[in-house]
């Protein structure tokens, strides 16, 4: 059974999806919402760490037999996008379309599975307006003198429960119209921004304008997944204000619990600081490629640390990850056979352990270490090791199934088999003769605990 650390309760909790308890369906569905990218530039590898962690969560749920229904929004209208479009003197779609495409390209390179729904903000304005209307009708939102609509945090009694602000005095009445701000600025936040010249806008009962960032996720998650979600994930920087505001908007509108498990991943750091555009310390997958680090090596690097630990990116650690991944591929490239036949229960134990590690709040470092233990286990045949490693890779997602074994000519295979037979009868001198023959034909032979390896 999966246990997940819930940021709302500050505890690890046993995971049970809602649909399971309610409808008694055979295949249990888990409904997940994950905050997606703002498509005004390349995703940096900090962003990508978060999407890989969410992919691991999704794959672990599938391993546990759940059907996953996941939504990711694409923020395709916001201040940064508008600024860039204005500078280019082009419509916002000229900025968002190419970067959305590049984003999907990055996901593919990292073997991140496609989720069920990717949905752009601009395709859901109607739902956002409807949600804001509800909040106005219920007395949780009001129009400011600037014409924008704000959420009144003083009306939502548990405001701040996710980020711990509920224990502080809040500045109700003061307003913030930016989408991103710090904890010191906990004020009424904007739901609908009144139109400004040069900005794209949509009609609404409060005049032309555009949605704030936070309302986007509440409207889209509830549209696709219903009023109560099983899991909502993102990186820790979204706890406040974004997720706090999502809770306020959604629960104020429905009167129901919005999210049952809040799951947050830690940041990717560079030299001890969060990787972020504003600190000018970002790398993209292209930067990694320029230094000879392939995307899947970066995925490997992510697996080496727990998602709730900070991961400090260095070129040295990236190269070490690349080497480790290549060693796994080398292992699969050189089939060997020995006469070891492990008991079914012994093999099953590896499978159980692997699943137990992941179910322990996604412990990927231990799952990865176990994969290496399989590779090195002298009690397992190559065939069994390969089966186990490829099975594990359905979760790890390192693309190992694509590694083709080195095809040896029939003549070499025969010589190896003959040599193995001689060795079992302890006829080592003759066996050495066959080794020389193999080597004269241009192959290197190495006897390993798992059997002979020819390359
Ligand atoms: P953005 O495109 O800025 O909206 O961010 C997309 C996702 O990346 C969000 O879930 C952020 O929380 C996450 N994120 C941003 N910076 C980092 C970082 N340095 N490490 C991990 N995740 C990050
Ligand atoms: Zn969001």
Residue 182 lies in a domain: yes
Q: Which residues contact 86 (CB under 8 A, 6 or more apart)?
A: 198
Shared domain check, 162 and 240: yes
Q: Whose CA is nearest to atom 13 of ligand 1?
A: 47
* Beta pairing partners, 178: none
Is the domain of 420 the same as that of 394?
no
* 147 alpha carbon – ligand 2 mean position (Å): 24
- For residues 223 and 368, membership in a common domain is answered with no
Distance between CA 65 and CA 61 in Å, rounded? 7
Give yes or no: residues 62 and 188 share one domain: yes
State the average pLDDT over residues 57-71: 97
Whether the CB-CB separation of 22 and 79 falls below 8 Å is answered with no
User: Is there a single domain that holds both residue 122 and residue 59?
Assistant: yes
Would you state the pLDDT for residue 82?
Answer: 95
CATH code of the domain covering residue 190: 3.40.50.620
Cβ atoms of 159 and 248 within 8 Å: the answer is yes
- Asked whether residue 449 is domain-assigned, the answer is yes
Helix (H, G, I), strand (E, B) or coil at 293: coil
- Residues having C-beta closer than 5 Å to ion ligand 2: 35, 217
Label residue 399 by pLDDT band (50, 70, 90): very high
Residue 272 within a domain: no
Same-domain status, 326 and 371: yes
Cα 229 versus chain centre, distance: 18
* Mean of per-residue pLDDT scores for the chain: 93
Q: What is the largest CA-CA distance in the chain?
A: 95
Looking at the 3D structure of the chain, how many domains does it have? Answer: 3
List b or e across 48-60, with b for residues whose CB sees 16 or more CB atoms inside 10 angstroms: bbbbbbbbbbbbb
Distance CA 181, CA 58 (A): 30
Coarse DSSP helix, strand, coil percentages of the chain, rounded to the nearest 5 percent:
50, 15, 35
What is the best residue among 33, 41, 46, 272 to mutate for testing ligand 1's pocket, by most ligand atoms within 8 Å of CB? 46
The ligand that comes nearest to the alpha carbon of residue 233 is 1
* Residue 262 · residue 162 · CB < 8 Å: yes
Establish if 252 belongs to a structural domain: yes
Write the DSSP assignment of 46-69 as a string of letters.
HHHHHHHHHHHHHHHHHHTT-EEE
* Shared-domain flag, residues 148 and 251: yes
pLDDT in tens, 314-367: 999 999 999 999 999 999 998 876 667 778 999 999 999 999 999 999 999 999
If asked whether residues 135 and 71 sit together in one domain, one would say: yes
Q: Are residues 241 and 204 in the same domain?
A: yes
Least confident of 54-58, 369-373, 426-430: 426-430
Residue 253 and residue 150 share a domain: yes
Indicate if 99 and 245 belong to the same structural domain: yes
**Which residues have C-beta within 8 Å of that of residue 340, sequence separation ≥ 6?**
378, 379, 380, 381, 450, 451
Tell me the per-residue pLDDT of 187-199, one tens digit each, with 9 for 90 and over.
999 999 999 998 9
**Do 106 and 254 lie in a common domain?**
yes
- Whether 308 lines ligand 1, by a CB cut-off of 6 Å, is no
User: What is the pTM (predicted TM-score) of this model?
Assistant: 0.90
Ligand 1 proximity of 275 Cβ (cutoff 6 Å): yes
Identify the band that residue 167 occupies on the pLDDT scale cut at 50, 70 and 90.
Answer: low
Q: Does any domain span residue 276?
A: no
Domain that holds residue 317: 285-402
User: Greater confidence, 236 or 439?
Assistant: 236
Check pLDDT > 80 for residue 20.
no
């Amino acid at each position: 059974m999966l246990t997940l650390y819930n940021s709302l309760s500050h505890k690890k909790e046993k995971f049970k999806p809602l649909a399971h308890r309610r409808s008694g369906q055979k295949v249990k569905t888990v409904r997940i919402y994950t905050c997606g990218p703002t498509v005004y530039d390349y995703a940096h590898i900090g962003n990508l760490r978060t999407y890989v962690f969410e992919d691991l969560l999704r794959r672990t749920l599938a391993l546990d037999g759940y059907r996953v229904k996941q939504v990711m929004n694409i923020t395709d209208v916001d201040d940064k996008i508008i600024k860039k479009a204005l500078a280019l003197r082009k419509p916002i779609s000229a900025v968002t379309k190419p970067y959305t495409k590049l984003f999907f390209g990055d996901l593919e390179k990292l073997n991140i599975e496609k989720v069920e729904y990717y949905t752009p903000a601009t395709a859901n304005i109607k739902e956002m307006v409807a949600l804001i209307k509800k909040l106005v009708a219920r007395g949780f939102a009001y129009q400011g003198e600037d014409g924008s609509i704000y959420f009144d945090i003083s009306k939502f009694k548990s405001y701040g429960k996710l980020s711990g602000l509920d224990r502080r005095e809040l500045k109700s009445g003061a307003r913030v119209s930016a989408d991103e701000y710090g904890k010191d600025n906990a004020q009424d936040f904007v739901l609908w921004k009144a139109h400004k010249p040069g900005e794209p806008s949509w009609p609404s009962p409060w005049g032309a304008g555009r949605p704030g960032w936070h309302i986007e996720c509440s409207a889209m998650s509830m549209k696709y997944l219903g009023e109560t979600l099983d899991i909502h994930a993102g990186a820790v920087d979204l706890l406040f204000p974004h997720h706090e505001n999502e809770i306020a908007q959604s629960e104020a509108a429905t009167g129901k619990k919005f999210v049952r498990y809040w799951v947050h991943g830690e940041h990717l750091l560079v030299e001890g600081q969060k990787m972020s555009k504003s600190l000018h310390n970002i790398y993209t997958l292209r930067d990694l490629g320029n230094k000879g680090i392939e995307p899947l090596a970066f995925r490997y690097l992510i697996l080496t640390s727990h998602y709730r630990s900070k991961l400090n990116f260095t070129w040295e650690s990236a190269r070490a990850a690349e080497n480790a991944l290549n060693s796994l591929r080398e292992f699969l490239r050189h089939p060997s056979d020995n006469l070891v036949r492990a008991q079914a229960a012994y093999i099953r134990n590896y499978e159980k352990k692997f699943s137990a590690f992941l179910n322990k709040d996604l412990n990927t470092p231990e799952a990865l270490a176990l994969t290496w233990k399989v590779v090195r286990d002298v009690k397992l045949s190559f065939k069994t090791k390969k089966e186990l490693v490829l099975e594990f890779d359905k979760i790890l997602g390192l693309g190992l199934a694509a590694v083709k074994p080195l095809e040896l000519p029939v003549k070499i295979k025969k010589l190896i088999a003959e040599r193995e037979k001689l060795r079992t009868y302890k006829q080592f001198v003759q066996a050495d003769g066959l080794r020389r023959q193999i080597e004269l034909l241009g192959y290197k032979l190495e006897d390993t605990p798992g059997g002979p390896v020819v390359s």
